[in-house]
Chains A and B, each alone.
Chain A
Amino acid sequence: MQFNSVQFLVFFPIVVGIYFLIPKKFKYLWLLVTSYFFYMSWNAKYALLIAFSTIITYLAGLFLGKTDDKKKKNLIVAASFTVNLGILAFFKYFDFLLGNVNGILSAVGLKIINNPFDVLLPVGISFYTFQALGYTIDVYRKEIEPEKNFFRYALFVSFFPQLVAGPIERSKNLLGQIDEMSKKRLWDYSKIVSGFGLMLWGMFQKVVVADRCAVFVDAVHANLFAAGTVETVASAILFSIQIYCDFAGYSAVAIGAARVMGFSLMENFNTPYFATSIQDFWRRWHVSLSSWFRDYLYIPLGGSRCSKLKKYRNIMITFLASGLWHGASWTFVFWGGLHGAFQIIGDLLRPIKQKVNDFFKVKTETFSYKLGQIMITYGLTTFAWIFFRARTWENLILYFNRMLTKPNLWIVFGGGLDYLNINRDDVKIVVAFLGILLLGEIVRYVKKVDVGEYLWQQNLWFRIGVFIVLIVIILVYGEYGIHFDSGKFIYFDF
């Protein structure tokens, strides 16, 4: 059941309606049942995996809480990590590993190994595994007490709004709120309205912007043999918007849905394309994942409080792991490595940049300087997304070949895009909706609140007007329906 489905349109109001009607002490159980129902709507068997992961990490938490013996604690954490990462590795990376082993075997002339398994990647496994492992580490570090109530903990791992694509919640935040459910007032009109507004905005980002951009991007990738510089550059830009709106849209719906029910989930995106450096970008992009890697990998590795060489090693390890988390393919790993390399190069060039700025008396506090930084950062991230989207080296090589060797600026002015089945009206409508998207981004950047909260702060008539316009835009211009099959959120695959 995806957020952009009719099923969710029915599911969510029923869940929320009953949630507010039943006594407080049963609310978490209701959410647990509905979360499992939500997850099982993809594949009922997946529930066994999440339940298994929940039991392992729950027991690990309990055992960790009962001992102060460091060796035992290490052993418990290692066991929890081994089991959970083992499951993740099997479902997500087995084919990738086997492919690489076979590559080596065939290179040395040995017989390749046939794949004995035919498994599908369970939806959201990377997200809930990381969330559950985060809990294990938090208990290990004594940052939180182990959760005694199994069902509350199970809800923490499976809470449906953020189950399949994040935000990857921290136990301190979400588990704490689940524990507090019976004590605090969950019905909050302002949260319901702002949560609803945020859900609408998220749907707009996903169904209207991301999926409309996807039509163009997919068409270019399907016709790479015919594409030239214009299509490939435009496709790279539109993919940067597509992946942002796809993922940020999902996060907005997740955060909004949770907010309607009185929960406050962590922010996952904060105007990432307004970042002034790659480092800044990762403070704004998929915040829940990047902070997870920061807290549970980068810092334990030594972080930045060590020699420069070690710091760069830590950065590279973290970003390569982040790349691999995103997908079982070397292009994803390369994409992660590219971001790590951008940061290291940026750090190495900092003294030179400083000298250049001093020499030319560049005013670094001006809008123009900041705009330049934003554009360079956007250019670098967009360049890196090409690796992310290509999926295979063959595609990647062909993509760059078309981008660099087939200049064809004239097609912008003629009917040159006809072969992609994209007419000028489609382009106009994408541009119009990008304008609305930019407006939302500016609101977030300037006012420091998300669109839902911003709308709540406005007058009733304005709010109602925006809600209605957004609903009509989603229903009329959204990409969905009988001839449309790309409704899946990109990050479900990760």
Chain B
Amino acid sequence: MQSKGEIAKKCIAILIFCALLAFVLCRVYRVLSWKDTTGDYLSSTSQLYHTPEHTVDVVFMGSSHCYCGVYPAVLWRDAGIAAFDMSVSGQDRASTVHMLTETLKTQSPKVVMIDAYGLLFDRNEIEGNVYRNMLSMKTSKNSVELVKEYVEKEDQLDYLLRWPIVHTRFWELEKYDFIQYEPSIYGRGAFFSWHESTESAQGEWNVDQVGELSKENQEWLDRLIKASKENGFDLVFFVIPFKITREEQMKINAANAYLADRGIDLLDLNPLFSELDLDPKKDFMDNKHCNANGAEKVTHYLQEYLRSHYELADHRGDDRYSHWDQDLEWYEHEKLKQDLTVAEDPEERLRLLFGQSDLVTVISVEGASEEIPVLKELGLSEAEIAAGGKWILRGESLTKIMDNDPEDQAYTEDLSKTDALRVRYTKERDAFNIQFNYNACCDPRYPVCVVCYDGVLKDLLAIIHF
């Protein structure tokens, strides 16, 4: 027989093992857990979980049409409306219902606006979209029900356990898998892009015929109507402009008729290209998705609708809504990045950086023989430009950090938790005289090198040479 002490020791050993194993597996899972590896956009659920409870007044739900076409940042900027895109690529009927349930756990929106594009496709066949919809929610009764409704039976266990799917991510792990960014950095669920389409997004919207409302679509609408009554929010459907086909428009018409009978609005924006001043190419990133220019116009229309139908509070200035402030800031920095991309003249690009907050701009001048007006505008004298040196511009303030002297100590700065900058002078126009992380930033052909780091986007905003 073993003594009580021996048994206790063994029990402690088992407990230590279980605790350590649980800790290690949790940490490993956190790294491996599914994230959108296309990089720019996370599923909205992670943003939702980091949003203070009961702050969202308007929820937009839908697939990529929704997060490309509706910008909560614009609603916030113009009207102080606290809106949120609870939207995921390929969000189908089942996902919409369960994402709504998930949203209502912590939020009590006054209006829920749902993209009727969900009426036009069945289960999503794009694998990444299945993952986005199935793996992004926290595990709960709701997420289990979604998997059971969405995923084929033989695959359900893998989706419920998640590990059998996500463990294969070990090859694609990136920095953000280990260092979790602040949740607000990806905004309120919207995706910002200024890419312009080569194809027209105008489709066959001019169809009056009403198609048949399928059983699945009717059930979906009924489920959402029931949810709105049970949870006390107003339900509105909308269609973001895209290249719609005749058959699709007939389905939308059918849903519109069904909803009208029940006193629910469906805002079909496809027929409103002229009214919204939408350019079928310039305001779209492809023939299905708005770009930022289009999103501004679409969002403005929706804002007017909301203003005319609801009394929504202006939350600007309220500390609980800092996520919306940060979202707007992010959007504006993205716009600046776009402006820098579009601007062709290097000096003009540098001027765009003047006075901007949250930017760290290093200016290196080495062997400049000509007059450079933009440097004079910054306050540098001709003598200083001729002598050369390294300066840092933060907002309006320009500070010299070193001369072009190999004896001078290199200037280093941690720009963020993961990004570092080194400025030095080893020899004239050396590519590594400005180094961002492991990358040389200078082009030895030019006397002036400008490297700008964006503290909001946490990335290099621009490298300018002239």
Q: What residues of chain A have their CB less than 8 Å away from a CB belonging to chain B?
A: 6, 189, 425, 460, 464, 467-468, 471-472, 475-478, 480-483
Chain B residues with a Cβ closer than 8 Å to the other chain, count: 22
- Also in contact, A482 and B158, with CB within 8 A (given A189-B10, A476-B167): yes
Q: Which of B20, B32, B155, B164 contacts A480 (CB 8 A)?
A: B164
CA distance A491 to B171 in the complex (A): 30
| Chain B residues with CB under 8 A of A478 | 167
In the complex, whether B120 has a CB less than 8 A from a CB of chain A is no
The residue of chain B having its C-beta at the shortest distance from the C-beta of A483 within the complex is: B168
The residue of chain A having its C-beta at the shortest distance from the C-beta of B32 within the complex is: A476
In the complex, whether B21 has a CB less than 8 A from a CB of chain A is yes
Contact of A6 with B25 in the complex, beta carbons under 8 Å: no
7 A-B contacts, Cβ less than 8 Å apart? A464-B13, A468-B24, A472-B25, A476-B167, A477-B167, A477-B170, A482-B155
CA distance A425 to B171 in the complex (A): 8
| Chain A residues with CB under 8 A of B457 | none
| Chain A residues with CB under 8 A of B305 | none
The residue of chain B having its C-beta at the shortest distance from the C-beta of A5 within the complex is: B157
In the complex, whether B16 has a CB less than 8 A from a CB of chain A is yes
Q: Which of A464, A467, A472, A482 contacts B164 (CB 8 A)?
A: A482
| Chain A residues with CB under 8 A of B20 | 464, 468
In the complex, whether B310 has a CB less than 8 A from a CB of chain A is no
CA distance A481 to B159 in the complex (A): 9
The residue of chain B having its C-beta at the shortest distance from the C-beta of A9 within the complex is: B161
Report the number of A-B residue pairs with Cβ-Cβ less than 8 Å.
46
Contact of B24 with A475 in the complex, beta carbons under 8 Å: no
CA distance A476 to B170 in the complex (A): 7
In the complex, whether B17 has a CB less than 8 A from a CB of chain A is yes
- Also in contact, A472 and B171, with CB within 8 A (given A6-B157, A6-B161, A482-B165): no
Q: From residue A228, how far is it (CB to closest CB) to chain B in Å?
A: 27
| Chain B residues with CB under 8 A of A472 | 24-25, 28
Apart from A471-B21, A472-B24, A475-B28, 14 more pairs, CB < 8 Å: A189-B10, A464-B13, A464-B16, A464-B17, A468-B24, A471-B25, A472-B25, A472-B28, A475-B167, A477-B167, A481-B164, A481-B165, A481-B168, A483-B168
| Chain A residues with CB under 8 A of B13 | 460, 464
| Chain A residues with CB under 8 A of B163 | 475, 481
Q: Closest 8 A-B residue pairs measured CB to CB? A: A481-B164, A482-B158, A464-B17, A476-B167, A482-B165, A468-B21, A468-B24, A476-B170
The residue of chain A having its C-beta at the shortest distance from the C-beta of B2 within the complex is: A189
Q: From residue B424, how far is it (CB to closest CB) to chain A in Å?
A: 35
List residues 27-72 of chain B with CB under 8 A from any CB of chain A. Answer: 28, 32
The residue of chain A having its C-beta at the shortest distance from the C-beta of B17 within the complex is: A464
| Chain A residues with CB under 8 A of B159 | 482
CA distance A66 to B17 in the complex (A): 54
Q: From residue A197, how far is it (CB to closest CB) to chain B in Å?
A: 11
CA distance A460 to B10 in the complex (A): 10
Q: From residue B164, how far is it (CB to closest CB) to chain A in Å?
A: 3
Q: From residue A78, how far is it (CB to closest CB) to chain B in Å?
A: 46
CA distance A6 to B161 in the complex (A): 9
Most B CB contacts (10 A, CB to CB) among A475, A477, A481 go to A481
| Chain B residues with CB under 8 A of A6 | 157, 161, 164
CA distance A296 to B167 in the complex (A): 46
CA distance A475 to B26 in the complex (A): 12
Q: From residue B359, how far is it (CB to closest CB) to chain A in Å?
A: 37
Q: From residue A319, how far is it (CB to closest CB) to chain B in Å?
A: 41
Q: From residue A204, how far is it (CB to closest CB) to chain B in Å?
A: 14
CA distance A467 to B19 in the complex (A): 13
| Chain B residues with CB under 8 A of A481 | 158, 163-165, 167-168
Q: From residue A85, how far is it (CB to closest CB) to chain B in Å?
A: 36
The residue of chain B having its C-beta at the shortest distance from the C-beta of A471 within the complex is: B21
Contact of B158 with A475 in the complex, beta carbons under 8 Å: no
| Chain A residues with CB under 8 A of B170 | 476-477
Q: From residue A469, how far is it (CB to closest CB) to chain B in Å?
A: 9
CA distance A471 to B157 in the complex (A): 20
| Chain A residues with CB under 8 A of B21 | 467-468, 471
Most A CB contacts (10 A, CB to CB) among B155, B159, B163 go to B163
The residue of chain B having its C-beta at the shortest distance from the C-beta of A478 within the complex is: B167
CA distance A425 to B17 in the complex (A): 31
Q: From residue A157, how far is it (CB to closest CB) to chain B in Å?
A: 31
The residue of chain A having its C-beta at the shortest distance from the C-beta of B151 within the complex is: A482
Q: From residue A487, how far is it (CB to closest CB) to chain B in Å?
A: 11
CA distance A392 to B10 in the complex (A): 54
CA distance A471 to B167 in the complex (A): 12
CA distance A478 to B163 in the complex (A): 11
| Chain B residues with CB under 8 A of A189 | 10
The residue of chain A having its C-beta at the shortest distance from the C-beta of B164 within the complex is: A481
CA distance A233 to B93 in the complex (A): 52
CA distance A460 to B158 in the complex (A): 33
| Chain B residues with CB under 8 A of A475 | 25, 28, 163, 167
CA distance A480 to B157 in the complex (A): 13
Contact of B164 with A476 in the complex, beta carbons under 8 Å: no
CA distance A459 to B164 in the complex (A): 32
CA distance A480 to B171 in the complex (A): 15
| Chain A residues with CB under 8 A of B171 | 425
CA distance A478 to B158 in the complex (A): 14
The residue of chain A having its C-beta at the shortest distance from the C-beta of B29 within the complex is: A475
CA distance A482 to B157 in the complex (A): 9
The residue of chain A having its C-beta at the shortest distance from the C-beta of B157 within the complex is: A6
Q: From residue B396, how far is it (CB to closest CB) to chain A in Å?
A: 48
CA distance A467 to B32 in the complex (A): 20
| Chain A residues with CB under 8 A of B24 | 468, 472
List residues 109-158 of chain B with CB under 8 A from any CB of chain A. Answer: 155, 157-158
| Chain A residues with CB under 8 A of B16 | 464
CA distance A477 to B170 in the complex (A): 8
CA distance A482 to B168 in the complex (A): 10
Q: From residue B220, how far is it (CB to closest CB) to chain A in Å?
A: 27
| Chain A residues with CB under 8 A of B165 | 481-482
| Chain B residues with CB under 8 A of A460 | 13
| Chain A residues with CB under 8 A of B161 | 6
| Chain B residues with CB under 8 A of A483 | 168
List residues 273-298 of chain B with CB under 8 A from any CB of chain A. Answer: none
Q: From residue B29, how far is it (CB to closest CB) to chain A in Å?
A: 9
Q: From residue B446, how far is it (CB to closest CB) to chain A in Å?
A: 36
CA distance A189 to B17 in the complex (A): 15
Most A CB contacts (10 A, CB to CB) among B25, B159, B164, B171 go to B164
List residues 4-27 of chain B with CB under 8 A from any CB of chain A. Answer: 10, 13, 16-17, 20-21, 24-25
| Chain A residues with CB under 8 A of B28 | 472, 475-476
CA distance A481 to B155 in the complex (A): 9
The residue of chain B having its C-beta at the shortest distance from the C-beta of A425 within the complex is: B171
CA distance A478 to B164 in the complex (A): 9
Q: From residue A194, how far is it (CB to closest CB) to chain B in Å?
A: 14
CA distance A260 to B182 in the complex (A): 46
CA distance A231 to B24 in the complex (A): 38
CA distance A450 to B157 in the complex (A): 34
Write the B155-194 contact mask toward A (1 if CB under 8 angstroms, else 0). Answer: 1011101011101101100000000000000000000000
Q: From residue B306, how far is it (CB to closest CB) to chain A in Å?
A: 41
| Chain A residues with CB under 8 A of B157 | 6
CA distance A393 to B50 in the complex (A): 62
